[in-house]
Amino acid sequence: MEKIHSESGEVLIKVSPLINYSKFGLRSNPDAVPQPLHVKTAEHQVEKQTELSPLHDFMGKLRQPEVLENLKEYVRWQVQWREGYAADAMTLEQALESAPRHAPVSINLDVTTACNYRCDHCVDMDILNKNINYEHELLKDSLTQLVNHGLRSVIIIGGGEPTAYKGFEDVVRHLKAMDVQIGVVTNGSMMRKIHAVADVFQKRDWVRLSLDSGTNETFRAMHKPGSKKCTLEWICEHIPPIKQLNPELMIGFSYIIVWQDCETNDTGIIENVDEMVAAARLAKQHRFDYISYKPFLTRSELNNAEVVGIEKRQEHVASTMAKIRNAIHEAQKLEDENFAVVESTNLRVLENGTYMNYSQQPHNCHMQYFRQVVSPLGIFNCPVYRHVPQALIGGKHAYATPDSLLTAQRNTLRLIETFDATEECKDVTCLYNHANWFIEDLINHPEKLDQLGASFDRADYFL
Ligand SMILES: C[S@@+](CC[C@H](N)C(=O)[O-])C[C@H]1O[C@@H](n2cnc3c(N)ncnc32)[C@H](O)[C@@H]1O
Ligand code: SF4
């Protein structure tokens, strides 16, 4: 196992060295057969897609009129590169010369690693409070560059608490001035900062509070907020005034379900299955638009990827699932035109046993071209691999100037070639799985590109 170090010298993450560099440059053995690429049948993809909510229909989102040409350019480039490689006529570096110059369509933006909570279940515990920061103006330059090259949506989240960043309001206003769609994931402790920017949010923008409980006792035990005044009720009381100020802003109550046997950060953690319905009542009462239930994730020992924290060998899986199902049924009774209960795809496929389908990825993960993580710890290829070294595309300001942006674009394409998703992501219930296979199929059947028309414009660019 390798370790990397932050700029301040601390160990950040343990990694396993799985990167295969063999596709850099011409193959050394001219007799070697080009690596076969996995292609699955169209039926297989359609079958998988039926389980996905529209929120996770990334294939449909990438076919929207405004991004379809971006997708086609990427596919055409892959076709050209693979043909050149198979004929031993092109190195990757040569292929990169004619690569498309698009930025990702969507990013997860970690504005800070600082956090004022100590959630026992936090999947990002290892990277919190690293005291590694952006230079604010360079961060804004990066966002401007990205937008100029096709960025359409930003989820402001962490590794850290977004509202703890002193430039939070400025970043939100900067993005909205460029007409970028925004989602914010917050722990809710500084709702005054959300209130301060509530006027700029538009219809498709959203704010999601990670509250995970139905009683203040459980809330505080799970999250360990620094301040005494920070109670579950107090946080929820901030929602009605914000909704009044901007009824278009969608506000969600996020509930990570933690059950008996869940472990992370080397410790047992507080269970909350029994409070799922109470939380839904609280959410509705305080004018949240929805409550979303998701399963607990943990980090893979293999490569630090985020993976669903359940194993079939756990004794209580069946009874836990039954309890969760009952709670969701109860919560659904509260649904009306202003309040929805959202069950994550992760949870649904976990329950119906199809989650293993989502762990068979093609070798090349194409989604890293369209969606990335920008963090003070660097640019990473996937939210599952925040701050994992084999997923690193560049430094935190890699998108700040035209030259460094070009390098980052090329690094992205290099990483697509060298990051073996079949191996790296074999334990991940990857919600991008169907989109990756769809793109892989287009690359292997480029004749389909001519027939590939735009889907309807859902004006949703979150990936
Ligand atoms: C790491 S937090 C950072 C953003 C912000 N500080 C917050 O708490 O919402 C991002 C999201 O990850 C979720 N999360 C944290 N630990 C998790 C885990 N073990 N499994 C699933 N989701 C988790 C949180 O509930 C939150 O919605
Ligand atoms: S295959 Fe899925 S989990 Fe793996 S890097 Fe790509 S998007 Fe992330």
Q: What is the reported pLDDT for 423?
A: 94
Cβ(256) – ligand 1 distance below 6 Å: yes
**Average pLDDT of the residues in 115-143:** 94
Asked if residue 143 has pLDDT above 50, the reply is yes
Nearest-atom number in ligand 1 for the CA of 124 is: 1
User: How far is 390 from 405, CA to CA, in rounded Å?
Assistant: 19
| More confidently predicted of 3 and 111 | 111
| More confidently predicted of 16 and 254 | 254
Q: Which of 59, 62, 300, 367 to mutate to test the pocket of ligand 2 (most atoms within 8 A of CB)?
A: 367
Compute, in angstroms, the gap from residue 383 CA to the centroid of ligand 1: 12
Q: Is pTM beyond 0.75 here?
A: yes
Nearest-atom number in ligand 2 for the CA of 381 is: 5
Compute, in angstroms, the gap from residue 380 CA to the centroid of ligand 1: 18
Nearest-atom number in ligand 2 for the CA of 382 is: 8
Q: What is the reported pLDDT for 55?
A: 81
Amino acid at 433: N
Name the one residue in this structure whose structure tokens are 């991008």. Answer: 432
Q: What is the reported pLDDT for 205?
A: 98
Compute, in angstroms, the gap from residue 421 CA to the centroid of ligand 2: 6
Task: Please report which ligand is nearest the Cα atom of 109.
Answer: 1
b/e code 10-38 from CB counts within 10 Å (16+ = b) = eebbbbbeebeeebeeebeeeeeeeeeee
Q: How confident is the model at residue 378 (pLDDT cuts 50, 70, 90)?
A: very high
Compute, in angstroms, the gap from residue 152 CA to the centroid of ligand 1: 23
| More confidently predicted of 34 and 270 | 270
165 and 135 Cβ atoms separated by less than 8 Å: no
b/e code 153-175 from CB counts within 10 Å (16+ = b) = bbbbbbbbbbbbbebbeebbebb
Compute, in angstroms, the gap from residue 382 CA to the centroid of ligand 2: 6
Task: Please report which ligand is nearest the Cα atom of 211.
Answer: 1
**Which amino acids bring their CB within 6 angstroms of ligand 2?**
361, 365, 367-368, 381-382, 384, 421, 425, 428, 430, 432, 436
Residues in the chain: 463
Nearest-atom number in ligand 2 for the CA of 428 is: 3
Cβ(341) – ligand 1 distance below 6 Å: no
Task: Please report which ligand is nearest the Cα atom of 434.
Answer: 2
Compute, in angstroms, the gap from residue 168 CA to the centroid of ligand 2: 28
Q: What is the reported pLDDT for 11?
A: 31
The CATH architecture that domain 1-463 belongs to is: Alpha-Beta Barrel (3.20)
Q: What is the reported pLDDT for 348?
A: 83
Task: Please report which ligand is nearest the Cα atom of 252.
Answer: 1
DSSP 233-274: HHHHTTHHHHHHH-TTSEEEEEEEE--TT-EETTEE----GG
User: How far is 306 from 298, CA to CA, in rounded Å?
Assistant: 6
Q: What is the reported pLDDT for 24?
A: 34
Number of Cβ within 10 Å of residue 448's Cβ equals: 13
Task: Please report which ligand is nearest the Cα atom of 419.
Answer: 2
User: How far is 423 from 137, CA to CA, in rounded Å?
Assistant: 38
Q: How confident is the model at residue 17 (pLDDT cuts 50, 70, 90)?
A: very low
Average pLDDT taken over every residue of the chain: 86
Cβ(362) – ligand 1 distance below 6 Å: no
Q: Locate 174 and state its tokens.
A: 């900067």
Compute, in angstroms, the gap from residue 192 CA to the centroid of ligand 2: 35
Task: Give the domain ranges of the chain.
Answer: 1-463
Compute, in angstroms, the gap from residue 153 CA to the centroid of ligand 1: 20
| More confidently predicted of 6 and 435 | 435
Cβ(254) – ligand 1 distance below 6 Å: yes
Q: What is the reported pLDDT for 81?
A: 96
Q: What is the reported pLDDT for 51?
A: 58
Going through 96-246 in order, the beta strands assigned E by DSSP cover 106-110, 153-157, 181-186, 206-210
Stretch among 9-18, 316-325, 399-408, 446-455 having the lowest mean pLDDT: 9-18
User: How far is 225 from 212, CA to CA, in rounded Å?
Assistant: 13
Asked if residue 112 has pLDDT above 80, the reply is yes
Q: Is residue 306 helix, strand or coil?
A: strand
Q: What is the reported pLDDT for 8?
A: 40
221 and 211 Cβ atoms separated by less than 8 Å: no
Asked if residue 13 has pLDDT above 80, the reply is no
Q: How confident is the model at residue 311 (pLDDT cuts 50, 70, 90)?
A: low
Nearest-atom number in ligand 1 for the CA of 295 is: 21
